Amino acid sequence: MKFFDMLEFAIENLSHRGLRSWLTILGIVIGVAAVVGILSIGSGMQQTISSQLGGLGSDVGYILPGYARAAPTQMSRITISRLSSSGITLTDRDLHTVELTPGVSVVNGVVTGRVNIQLMLENVSVQAYGVDPIAAKEITNSVVDVEEGRFLMPGDTNAVLLGNDVANKMFKKPIAVNTQIKINGRPFKVVGIMEKSGGAVGGMLYDSSIFIPTSTARDLFTNIGSNEYSVIQFKVNDIEGIDEITNEVERRLMLSRHLTNETRDFTIITAKSMQETVSNVMNSLNLFLGGIAAISLLVGAIGIANTMYMSVMERTRQIGTLKALGATNSEIMKMFLVEASLIGLVGGLLGIFLGFIASGAISMLGMTIMVGAREASITVITPELILFALVFSIVIGALSGLLPARKAAQLEPVEALRYE
């Protein structure tokens, strides 16, 4: 018996048991849709997190005071203020240690504190960062660029660079370049507005903060010493070797600060290390979520097995007739396996289609609730996911029909023809 004859035979038998066949297929449809929907969410989360972490700058590292014993998925939310709350600070000595590390091209010491911005009759409290204009410009360009105006320059005193949200969202009217504002009662001129960065980048909240020269910042802040820094940024001259350079920076700081692994009091963050950690976590999460969704596929597989057993019982005389006409045990078994696989194939195709719909609905609903944007996506359906879901549904169908197929193949022709 040829394969296409078996396929035609399977379609005919399934169509004769229409309602039962569709109820069996429905179990696979729900299972595949659950797998596609859940794994698409996991893939979307991983892609979104990786995209956000990519904003750190692939060649930039951040040294923060305090050792962050946080879960890898929380690392992107660590801010300077949270780590420095322990009272630990970085000093000029640390800055020079990093500067002398081979492979480090630029180092920027940052001081930070809360300030009050006054524009006309409006007052807003924001985070301010004091930076070295030359070093900060080179490092910041790897992370986020200036949207309007210019970056800070040497010689600037009462000049300020605004984060995107500060300029466009925190006041009733957007703040334009060259606007005069007051910071802690002191007049400043807005020289530039930064692009949208999307969140915390190496502990620095670019969008909701302002940037001023370090010397000016030390006059405004009272919580940091003249030789202390809130964070140290460094840029490497070889992206491929950033891991080795970062390890060397860490080793030198440990020696300079006379620390051990138990007394370590600083954290080094790079985009690459965070992306690798988050990727491992998300892969494990996807595996876990896929396992949960696969439970519904198991239920569907039981439905296929039940349907095929019933089919064997109902078609016992038919099996006997086929054997009497010369059909071999192998052909009878293949016939039932093709039928079971066909159920898995149809269920897989419909499940993938339903998974697309569910994934799109989840994405639109999620982004509308979280950020009010419909053009973004929090779910990702890859060709690999579609292929996996389809192959898995066919395999599930074939395995579920294996035992019933063997039972049908082992029937004796004479006994089968006698069956009522």
Pick from 207-221, 245-259, 353-367: least confident: 353-367
Residues 21 and 66 in one domain: no
Residues 84 and 185 in one domain: yes
Q: Does the pLDDT of residue 367 top 60, yes or no?
A: no
Residues 64 and 48 in one domain: no
Q: Does the pLDDT of residue 71 top 50, yes or no?
A: no
Residues 120 and 179 in one domain: yes
Q: For residues 147 and 164, give the distance between their C-alpha atoms in angstroms, rounded to a whole number.
A: 8
Residues 11 and 82 in one domain: no
Residues 282 and 363 in one domain: yes
78-87, 179-188, 264-273 — which one is most confidently predicted on average? 179-188
Q: What is the pLDDT of residues 131-188, one digit of tens each?
A: 998 888 888 765 677 888 999 998 888 899 998 899 998 888 999 999 999 999 899 9
Residues 158 and 282 in one domain: no
Q: What percent of the chain has pLDDT over 70?
A: 75
Residue 261 lies in a domain: no
What is the reported pTM? 0.59
Nearest residue to 340 (alpha-carbon basis) of 410, 411, 390, 402: 402
Q: For residues 307 and 304, give the distance between their C-alpha atoms in angstroms, rounded to a whole number.
A: 5
Residue 268 lies in a domain: no
Residue 300 lies in a domain: yes
The whole domain housing 317 covers: 3-52+277-418
Q: What is the pLDDT of residues 286-309, one digit of tens each?
A: 777 777 767 777 777 787 777 777
What pLDDT does 376 receive?
Answer: 47
Question: Taking residues 336-350, what's their average pLDDT?
Answer: 83
Question: Taking residues 258-271, what's their average pLDDT?
Answer: 85
Residue 337 lies in a domain: yes
Question: Taking residues 319-329, what's their average pLDDT?
Answer: 71
Q: Does the pLDDT of residue 80 top 60, yes or no?
A: no
Cβ-proximal residues to 410 (8 Å cutoff; 6+ apart), any chain: 329
Q: Which residues pair with 187 in a beta bridge?
A: 182
User: Is the model more confident about 266 or about 274?
Assistant: 266
**What's the whole-number average pLDDT of the chain?**
78
What pLDDT does 96 receive?
Answer: 94
Residue 177 lies in a domain: yes
Q: What is the pLDDT of residues 385-399, one digit of tens each?
A: 788 878 878 888 888
Residues 32 and 64 in one domain: no
Contact between 128 and 216 (Cβ < 8 Å): no
Q: Which residues pair with 64 in a beta bridge?
A: 267
Q: For residues 158 and 182, give the distance between their C-alpha atoms in angstroms, rounded to a whole number.
A: 10
What pLDDT does 116 receive?
Answer: 92
Residue 96 lies in a domain: yes
The count of domains in the chain is 2
Q: What is the pLDDT of residues 31-64, one digit of tens each?
A: 888 878 777 777 777 666 665 555 555 778 888 8
Q: Does the pLDDT of residue 89 top 50, yes or no?
A: yes
What pLDDT does 256 receive?
Answer: 92
Domain end (from 236, 269, 288): 236
Q: Does the pLDDT of residue 74 top 60, yes or no?
A: no
Residues 283 and 219 in one domain: no
Q: For residues 10 and 336, give the distance between their C-alpha atoms in angstroms, rounded to a whole number.
A: 8
Q: Please report which confidence band the pLDDT of residue 407 belongs to, taking 50, 70 and 90 as the band edges.
A: confident
Domain end (from 236, 269, 296): 236
CA distances from 273 to 60, 247, 270, 279 (A): 11, 11, 6, 10
Q: For residues 78 and 91, give the distance between their C-alpha atoms in angstroms, rounded to a whole number.
A: 20
Crossing angle for the helix pair 329-370 and 383-400, nearest 10 degrees?
140
- Phi/psi at 328 (5° precision): -85, 165
Output the six-digit token pair for 251.
């080793």
3-7, 12-16, 153-157, 412-416 — which one is most confidently predicted on average? 153-157
Question: Taking residues 104-126, what's their average pLDDT?
Answer: 90
Output the six-digit token pair for 158.
């009462």
Q: Which residues pair with 204 in a beta bridge?
A: 201
Residue 248 lies in a domain: no
By the 10 Å C-beta count (0-12 exposed, 13-18 middle, 19+ buried), 1 is classed as middle
Residues 282 and 223 in one domain: no
What pLDDT does 180 receive?
Answer: 93
CA distances from 132 to 75, 114, 140, 154 (A): 26, 18, 11, 8
Q: H/E element holding 98?
A: helix 92-99
Residues 30 and 65 in one domain: no
Domain end (from 204, 236, 268): 236
CA torsion angle 254 252 66 92 (round to 10)? 120
Contact between 95 and 109 (Cβ < 8 Å): yes
- Phi/psi at 256 (5° precision): -65, -35
Residues 166 and 18 in one domain: no
Q: Please report which confidence band the pLDDT of residue 405 belongs to, taking 50, 70 and 90 as the band edges.
A: confident
Residue 141 lies in a domain: yes
Q: Please report which confidence band the pLDDT of residue 100 belongs to, taking 50, 70 and 90 as the band edges.
A: very high
Q: Please report which confidence band the pLDDT of residue 412 belongs to, taking 50, 70 and 90 as the band edges.
A: low
CA 185 to chain centre: 42
What pLDDT does 76 receive?
Answer: 44
What pLDDT does 7 receive?
Answer: 72
Give the Cα-Cα-Cα angle 22, 27, 31 (nearest 5 degrees). 140
The single residue listed with the structure tokens 């053009």 is 375
